[in-house]
Amino acid sequence: MALLEPLRKAAVRTIKPHVSNDTWRRIKSLDPRGRGANGAAEALPPLSEWDMVSLARHFGTDKWGSHRYAPHYEHHFLPFKNDTFSLLEIGIGGYAREKQGGASLRMWKAFFPNAQIIGLDIEDKSFVVEDRIKAYQGSQVNVPLLRTIVDESDNLQIIIDDGSHRSDHIRTTFEALFPLLPPGGLYAIEDTQTSYWPRFGGSEDIDDPTTSMALVKRLVDGLNYEEWRQWDYEPTYADEHVVAVHCYHNLVILEKGENNEGTNRKIPPPPDVAAS
């Protein structure tokens, strides 16, 4: 057994940081023959059964670590867990560094065992392509390319914007892609802190109407467009199809559906509006 001590220490250094506490306890419960405390053969669960924090650590994505997105994603994405659908993530990671990036695509592939995972990046990330992972190269504001990606996707249900983080890019991408999601789909915008950073096209003025967070705030108002007393207002597509806006630190997740519950207004419109 003494000969196994260096291996145990190596496991603590290399495996423990990348798995959940529950998974680590299961690893520790195994004896050197791969058997649990009761003597029965036991194996680690497949990656598809890991929680998303463990998967984020395992694959090295910043969705857990420098950010805390993984638990929020697990909460909202869990209903799609075993569905057959496509997920598109804008931004594959690694910037222009050769053979760098793709960690989150691999995490999505592991979490969704029946899903097709699609990535889009301004750099050539073709090295990430494998079974159930597809990559496109191009700009997130290339609207014809975005439409092509959707057309070539099978049952696209989830879109994640982890691209340039520029406010104008975020807004253009949302305007192009959100209408192409089906009802029940989810649209995530990451790293919204850049909304306040001028070098990303954001603004130090929190009331600046051109930023990505200004878009989000407008979507929140749009949830209640039927209650407004602007009697001649024509609702936008987003007004009529965003049914929930979940805001977290640096992360926003939107739910798509039919936002037409009706109004609770008790005051009737002016006669000239009612007659029109």
Could you report the per-residue pLDDT of 24-83, keeping only the tens digit for each? 555 554 444 444 445 454 567 899 899 999 999 999 999 999 999 999 999 999 999 999
Contact present, 14 and 30 (Cβ < 8 Å): no
End-to-end CA distance of the chain: 87
User: pLDDT, tens digit, for every residue of 193-208?
Assistant: 999 999 999 999 999 9
What is the C-alpha to C-alpha distance for residues 263 and 50, in angstroms, rounded to an integer?
Answer: 43
pLDDT for residue 95: 86
Q: What is the dihedral of CA 108, 110, 111, 116, to 10 degrees?
A: 50
Give the residue range(s) of CATH 3.40.50.150 domains in the chain: 47-274
Kindly tell me the burial class for residue 167, based on how many C-beta atoms sit within 10 Å of its own C-beta (0-12, 13-18, 19 or more): buried
Surface-to-core class of residue 8, CB atoms within 10 Å of its CB (0-12 exposed, 13-18 middle, 19+ buried):
exposed
pLDDT for residue 108 = 98
Residues contacting residue 12 through CB under 8 Å, at least 6 positions apart:
none
State residue 42's pLDDT score.
54
Query: Can you tell me the mean pLDDT for 204-225?
Result: 97
Q: How far apart are CA 50 and CA 121, in angstroms?
A: 27
Q: CA angle at residue 145 from 143 to 138, to 5 degrees?
A: 105
What are the start-end ranges of the H helices in the chain?
A: 5-14, 21-29, 52-59, 70-77, 103-111, 143-151, 167-177, 212-222, 237-241, 271-274
Question: pTM (2 decimals)?
Answer: 0.83
pLDDT at 260: 94
Q: Residue 130 is encoded by which pair of tokens?
A: 């494998």
CATH 3.40.50.300 fits 47-274, yes or no: no
Question: Is pLDDT of 264 > 50?
Answer: yes
More confident site: 13 or 251: 251
- Does 152 score more than 50 pLDDT? yes
pLDDT of 96 reads 82
Of the pLDDT bands very low, low, confident and very high (cuts 50, 70, 90), residue 17 is low
As annotated, the active-site residues are 165
pLDDT digits 0-9 by tens, 84-133: 999 999 999 998 888 889 999 999 999 999 999 999 999 999 999 999 99
User: Is 13 or 67 the better-scoring residue by pLDDT?
Assistant: 67
Q: How confident is the model at residue 153 (pLDDT cuts 50, 70, 90)?
A: very high
The pLDDT of residue 13 is above 70: no
pLDDT of 231 above 90: no
Structure tokens belonging to residue 209? 């109407």
